[in-house]
Amino acid sequence: MASHKLGRNTEDIKRELTAIIRELKDPRVADTMLSIVRVEVSRDMSYCKTYVSSMDGLDRAKQAVKGLTSAAGYIRREVGMRLSLRHVPQMSFEATDSIEYSANISHILSELNIKEGEEDGDAE
């Protein structure tokens, strides 16, 4: 039963983190199109690791992580005020290039579809 509660709390934290990140005024964060890829909360709710990706690439995501790390105390306080949690986890952020990676895969797949369409047109 505890795993259901942990999963629910993880999703709630992810939703609130998304809203809080949109409100931050730090230029390292505000000037970047960020996406929260995954949130991992420890079983005892003392640590929360957030994976962040940027549309502009891994370097930009790393800059944003520096801004998020400097605002971690503020973010933790905001999460505590918005959610009724007994213990608000300590926040840590990590950059990932998953959005850039998936965009590259999508581009490759779309090129394959174009080539298949050309081959079908030649057969007719």
58 occurs within a structural domain: yes
Instruction: Provide the strand spans (E) within 60-115.
Output: 90-95
113 occurs within a structural domain: no
13 occurs within a structural domain: yes
Domain count, the chain: 1
45 occurs within a structural domain: yes
Enclosing domain of residue 68: 2-97
12 occurs within a structural domain: yes
Instruction: Provide the strand spans (E) within the chain.
Output: 34-41, 47-54, 90-95
For 35-63, what is each residue's pLDDT tens digit? 999 999 999 989 999 999 988 888 999 99
How many Cβ atoms sit within 10 Å of the Cβ of residue 31? 13
Q: Is the whole-model pTM more than 0.95?
A: no
* pLDDT beyond 60 at 123: no
CATH of the domain at 90: 3.30.300.20
The span from the CA of 64 to the CA of 93, in Å, is 9
Higher-pLDDT residue of 112, 121: 112
